[in-house]
Amino acid sequence: MLYGRSAEISALAEVIARARDGFGGAVALRGEAGVGKTALLDAAAARGGAMRVLRTTGVESESDLAFAALHQVLRPVTGSLDALPEPQRLAVRAALGLAAGGGGDRFLLGAGVLSLLAEAAAPHGLMCVVDDFQWVDRASADALLFAARRLGTERIVMLLGVRGDAPVKGVPLTVDVRGLPESAAAELLESRHGVLPAQVKRELITLTGANPLALGEIAARLTRPQLAGREPLPDPLLGGASLFGDRVTGLSGPARLVALVAAVEADLDLVLRATDRLFGERPVRPVAIAARSASSATGTDAGAARVALAELEETGLAELSGTSVRFRHPLIRSAIHEIAAPADVRRVHAVLAELTEGDRRAWHLAGAALGQDGQVAAALVAAAERARDRGGYGAAATALARAAELTPEPRARAVRLKDAAVAAWLGGRPGQAQSLLAEARERADGDATLAMEIAQLRGRFELNAGNAAEAVRILAAGDSLDMLADAVEAASYVGDTAAIVELGRRAAAHPEGFLRDTVTGIGLTADGDATGPVLLRRALARAGELEDAAGYLWAAAAASALGEPDLATEMADRAGQVARVSGMTGQLPVVLEFVATAERLAGRLARGQAVSEEGLALAREAGYENTVAAHLANLAVLAALRGEEEPCERQAREALAIAIPHRVGLRAGVAAYALAMLDLCLGRHAAAHGRFEAIAAAGPGAGHPTVVWRMAPDHVEAAVGAGDEAGALAVLQAYERWSAHATTPESRALLARCRGLADSSEDAFGEALRLHTNPFEAARTALLLGECLRRAQRPGEARAHLRTAWETFERAGARPWARRAQSELRAAGGRGQAPSAAVLDALTPQELRIAGLVADGLSSKQIAARLFLSPRTVEYHLYKIYPKLGIGSRTDLARLVVLQKAPVAHDAML
């Protein structure tokens, strides 16, 4: 019976009820040991009714075994694996050891876990219960938490019992489980010990903090006179911090030995076999002597082991749960370890190592090691490689770090620390990665090659989550082409043109090739050297040979350096496509920075919104702070284009709070640009002009030349609107210099529009309209031309341009521009209803992406694989889409998307 937990039960019951109705969620029950989390989880599971229950408990001795907990949770439902999209199915099978091969991207594995749970939830829902989550192995925890954050449309509830402040990143709801209310604590005491004096109850409740476990255990040790108040309570109370210590020491020698084995290894068969072997050894310590005596008394070692296990069960300290030995409370295991002699613990590990293989054997060998041991370290490295191959990067990092401790040779130790840092980074733990790398750096003294490898990793870590200027300093110390390229990338994030020029010239010493030509060409172009654009053209001519996302991103950088935003957008699009299908481990959030920016620059605002929202979530999960700033800045610009002041200002502030101290000038510049665009979109030309001027004047780390170049058409428009003709002309002249080598139609169109603004030239606007390939930018030009014609008293000519602009802005969701175009159209005598394309405005960004993929002919499984969703979630979204649009099938949806030409996600973008 539960006492005093009505509020907690009510909160859990509400989440369970919502999950039954298709609104899934996750809850973390957080509290100290013994406060009653397990009892609440039991009560919640009992309230599930027809819901399927999958349950496991984290075991401290298995916390280093990759996917141990995930295997326990998913084992009953592996029969549903065939229903998953192939990439997700392969990732889950690899993680569970059901198939050989790599597990791929950890995001893909998390999506696979979500899909499998969703399949298992049919037809009545699913409850996934994980107790002692703080001891769940990292690989399992990452996968389960990825799924937990995405249960909104599933009939699934995930309940996690966690002690203290152990992290459960992103779980939306936490129920704090504290000590019982005084009345409930008193009722609990009296249910077990009869009527007690009020003073005794108050004192016990106060001294134990009303912790149910402490109350029960400590009260059970008091004498009758003490409980009756005839004698004072002990001071301090019996038990203290180790509630179970005296009960463990009270066990017989054989029972204490079997308890120690079970505290090291939970598997029942292994516990019995290891205990048998220990009973058969020559006794060397008091515990073993007692065990030996008991073995002789029973006649057989096997009988002695089972008798000892039965004694352990009878005390209530442990129980058999299937094929495992489970302690009634985690503190029992702690007490056993505290009491056992270190030599006894090592011997138990040694025996278990003889009885196990693979990862278990490696960890037991490590537990038995006394001092450094190269063979044991090698076994842990092999375990790390197996974990890494299955996508368990956190477990791999732990194994490699322990292997490094056991490695006697200094260079090999440094290499293993470096590899552990990489695994931790890919596992989304940048803090641990940086600590491991710092230790590797200390151990690498005297080895120049290894020191440079470590330096390159330090630079990459800084670039993704730290100070970008520091990344430039670290990476610029290298001479290899890869390191120089990384340094140019870092300098490009900072906006340090001088560094880009210098590094580009150093890269020129390397043999000709795509990367060398790109890096050198960017530097020379920035320096005004005429050979730079030639090299960039030569590099871009090889774009058809590229195979990885990184290559396409360099191609996008080359196009940007040439002043061709449309080609840069195309290359970023290709990078996104390749990253999606190749499973880029841990790098997808970074690639999505550029994909989202490309979508925005192409005028596909809804796509850009959806991609940035996804990238932001993944970046936060991975711990890539600078990528978080990138997605926030892009979202701020999108909010500005929609005229949404509060989201724009909030997201820009959040982006600047990261980008400025981290010296990421590119992202700081975009965030500042968002605020300037908000003013421009809302007609505040003078304010916008002032902001654009400030961005142009900002130095490296706060501003960025690429942002200044890309914003030039907006800056010209703001300057003209503010009446600063000289300022507009100065910006135009700078833009002409930046665009001197650009040849694509869109780059020439934007330049023509700027000339039209500066000169009030209808011909220049007309030329821009003929050249535009970007519909959104074409609409902006059409609006400017329409305004120019209306002011020239030619409303008839103006109306067609204004109506085109209005319709395009409405379709894109750019409300301020649409209102401006509509107002101008009415002033020109135009009438009519709003554009019919607004029918798709009812869809969310996620729904728009799914609609676009349906129009491309993808199945629900294929869409799920692209978007890290479960197929059932895709079907749920389609179920919501159809009534919103008044249609009833995929065919109708595809036809509507094509007819409306709405800004939905295309296969090439995903």
DSSP structure string for 74-108: HGGGGGGGGGS-HHHHHHHHHHTTSS-S----HHH
Number of domains in the chain: 4
How far is it, in rounded angstroms, from Cα 564 to Cα 558?
9
Per-residue confidence (pLDDT) for residue 287, from 0 to 100:
41
Last residue in a domain, options 500, 519, 545: 545
> d(Cα 400, Cα 68) in Å, to the nearest integer?
18
Confidence at residue 209, expressed as pLDDT on a 0 to 100 scale: 85
Q: Is residue 55 part of a domain?
A: yes
835's CB contacts (< 8 A; 6+ apart) are 806, 807, 810, 811
Fill in the DSSP letter of residue 703: B
Mean pLDDT of 75-96: 91
- Distance from the first to the final alpha carbon of the chain: 52
Tell me the whole-structure pTM to 2 decimals.
0.82
Is residue 679, in this structure, part of any structural domain at all?
no
In order of 69, 438, 491, 622, the CA distances from 136 in angstroms are 6, 27, 40, 19
Whether residues 144 and 187 share a domain: the answer is no
Rounded distance, CA 399 to CA 63, Å?
11
Cα 604 to Cα 852: distance, rounded to the nearest angstrom: 12
Would 396 be classed as within a structural domain?
no
| Domain end position, chosen among 516, 545, 574 | 545
Task: Match 């210098």 to its residue by tokens.
Answer: 502
So what's the pLDDT on residue 102? 59
Mark whether 169 and 232 lie in a shared domain: no
CB 263 within 8 A of CB 352: no
Q: Say what the pLDDT of residue 211 is.
A: 87
Q: Which residue has the tokens 């368990």?
A: 392
Give the pLDDT confidence score for residue 238 in this predicted structure: 62
DSSP 288: H
- Locate tokens 């990253």: which residue? 579
Query: Which has the closest alpha carbon to 735: 704, 720, 718, 713?
Result: 713
Of 291 and 732, the structure prediction assigns the larger pLDDT to 732
- Give the distance between the most distant pair of CA atoms in the chain: 113
User: Left, alpha or beta for 97 (phi > 0: left; psi -120 to 50: alpha)?
Assistant: left
Q: How far apart (Å, rounded) are the C-alpha atoms in residues 581 and 549?
A: 10
In this structure, are residues 19 and 35 in contact, taking their beta carbons and an 8 Å threshold? no
Residues 6+ apart with CB under 8 A from 712: 731, 732, 734, 735, 738, 754
Task: Tell whether 140 and 197 lie within a shared domain.
Answer: no
Same domain, 204 and 97: no
Same domain? For 54 and 168 the reply is yes
Q: What pLDDT digit, counting tens, does each position of 105-154 carry?
A: 788 889 999 999 999 998 899 999 999 999 999 999 999 999 999 998 89
Instruction: Pick the most confident of 192-201, 232-241, 343-352.
Output: 343-352
Among 542, 527, 545, 604, CA closest to 573: 604
CA angle 173, 176, 182 (to 5 degrees): 150
Domain limits for position 481: 450-545
- Domain identity same for 208 and 162: no
643 domain residue, yes or no = no
Rounded CA-CA distance 310/307 in Å is 5
Same domain (yes/no): 32, 104: yes
Residue 214 to residue 55: CA distance in whole angstroms: 26
Q: State which of 240, 258, 284 marks the end of a domain.
A: 240
User: Is residue 635 domain-resident?
Assistant: no
In this structure, the strands spanning 318-321 and 324-327 are antiparallel
Q: How do residues 377-386 score in pLDDT, each as one tens digit?
A: 999 999 999 9
What pLDDT is recorded for position 241? 47
* Helix residue ranges per DSSP H, 315-429: 330-339, 342-355, 358-368, 374-389, 393-406, 410-426
What is the Cα–Cα distance from 638 to 434, expressed in whole angstroms? 34
Mean pLDDT calculated for residue range 176-204: 90
> What pLDDT sits at residue 258?
95
Residues 189 and 73 in one domain: no
Average pLDDT, the chain: 88
pLDDT tens digit string along 738-757? 888 888 999 999 999 999 99
Pairing of strands 173-176, 318-321: unpaired
Looking at the fold, whether 93 and 146 belong to one and the same domain comes out as yes
Residue 493 inside a domain? The answer is yes
Indicate the burial class of 221 (C-beta count within 10 angstroms; 0-12, 13-18, 19 or more): middle
**Domain CATH for 468:** 1.25.40
Segment 407-418 mean pLDDT: 95
Q: Give yes or no for residue 436 having a pLDDT over 60.
A: yes
Residue 765 belongs to some domain of the structure: no
Contact, 554 vs 522, CB < 8 A? no
CATH value at residue 900 = 1.10.10.10
Count Cβ atoms within 10 A of the Cβ of residue 379 and give its class: 0-12 exposed, 13-18 middle, 19 or more buried: buried
Strand partners, 159: 27, 129
112: domain CATH number is 3.40.50.300
**Is residue 10 domain-shared with residue 152, that is, in the same domain?**
yes
Residue 839: pLDDT band (50, 70, 90) is low
Q: What is the pLDDT of residues 767-782, one digit of tens each?
A: 999 999 999 999 999 9
CA gyration radius, the chain: 33
* pLDDT at position 767: 96
Share of the chain above pLDDT 70, in %: 93
Residues 109 and 161 both lie in one domain = yes
Domain check: are 172 and 204 in the same one? Answer: no
Q: Evaluate whether residue 379 is within a structural domain.
A: no
